[in-house]
Structure 1
Amino acid sequence: MEYTENLPQLTAEEIRVLGSLMEKAKTTPDYYPMTINSLTAACNQKTSRKPVVNYDEQTVTLTLDSLKRKGLISTATGGSSRAVKFKHNFAIVFPLLPAEVALISLLFLRGPQTPGELNTNSGRMHEFENLDEVTAMLEKLSQDQPAYVRALPRRPGQKEQRYYHLFSGEHTADLDFPDDASGTQPVSGGLEARVAELESELAAVKEKLEALYSQLM
Structure 2
Amino acid sequence: MRRLSVRELSPLEARVLGVLVEKAHTVPDSYPLSLNSLLSGCNQKTAREPVINATEAEVLVAVDALKSLSLAFESSGSRVSRYEHNMGRALGLPSQSVALLAVMMLRGPQTSAELRSNAERLHHFADVSSVDAFLHELAERAPEKGGALVVKLPRAAGAREPRWAHLLCGAVDASALQLAAESEDFVAAGELAALKANQHAMQEQIDALREQVERLYAELGIARS
Q: What TM-score comes out, normalization by structure 1 length?
A: 0.78
Higher relative contact order (CA 8 A, sep 6+): 1
The letter of the residue matching 1:39 is: L
1:117 matched to 2:114: yes
CA distance 1:191–1:62, change in 2 (3 Å): farther
Matches within 5 A, 1:1-217: 3-4=2-3, 6=5, 8-78=7-77, 81-145=78-142, 146-172=147-173, 176=177, 179=186, 188-189=196-197
Report the Cα distance in structure 1 between the residues aligned to 2:199 and 2:29, rounded to whole angstroms. Answer: 20
The letter of the residue matching 1:69 is: S
Give the helix-richer structure, 1 or 2: 2
- Contact 1:9/1:169, CA 8 A, preserved across alignment: yes
- Contact 1:141/1:149, CA 8 A, preserved across alignment: yes
Q: Write out per-residue CA displacement over residues 92-116 of structure 1, whole angstroms, 9 at most, x where no aligned residue.
A: 1111111111001011111111101
The letter of the residue matching 2:49 is: K
Report the Cα distance in structure 2 between the residues aligned to 1:65 and 1:8, rounded to whole angstroms. Answer: 14
Q: What TM-score comes out, normalization by structure 2 length?
A: 0.75
- Contact 2:4/2:168, CA 8 A, preserved across alignment: no
> Which blocks of at least 5 consecutive residues in structure 2 are unaligned?
202-225
- The percent of aligned pairs where both chains have the same amino acid is 38
CA distance 1:148–1:163, change in 2 (3 Å): same
CA distance 1:175–1:25, change in 2 (3 Å): farther
Q: How many residues align?
A: 188
DSSP 3-state at the match of 2:121: coil
Instruction: Give the alignment's Cα RMSD to 1 decimal.
Output: 2.7
> Which blocks of at least 5 consecutive residues in structure 1 are unaligned?
194-217
